[in-house]
Structure 1
Amino acid sequence: MQFTLHMLVTALSHNTTADGVFSSLEMQMKAQRKENPAQKITLKQIVSDTNMALDFFLKARVIDRAVEETSKTREELETLLNDIENYLV
């Protein structure tokens, strides 16, 4: 499965909670799974992939892009990303 910046921005734009973001990402990841239906997707994997993506894409870039593409404020997005980063800590 491929985790993309577009997937993350889409999930951020349509959700206000970490649970909502993870649920959206899970649906997007399951849509990719058609090629390999035996591949399992767990919440732990989604949280881990999300945090790796945040590190990889740089949190600031994610926020900049989400601000451009959504009606959410920078503060709303920063709060949501902080909740995501601390989700299972």
Structure 2
Amino acid sequence: MLVELRDSDFPYVRVGIANRWVPQVSSKRVGLVAAGKTWTSADILRDHLALRQRFGGARLVWSGHWTTFSGPDFWVTVVGPAQPTAAEANR
């Protein structure tokens, strides 16, 4: 399901967010130990879906598709709208 969400979000991300700044509200990978647990794909999906309900513009990206991320194996939830600078995105 993560791959399907990523794929369905990709056209919007490519056109509306790429090369701009957006807040990153979650970044998880399978096997990550954080918040008192070891994260699984199912945990990451639940986390992302909860964020999607909380933030209407939330999108899922795979860090390996983007050179701006230092780790290539993270599921990243970003929230629009995109901004031209980091300062504006993090307001």
Higher helix share: 1
Name the TM-score, length of structure 1 as normaliser: 0.33
TM-score between the two structures when normalised by the length of structure 2 = 0.33
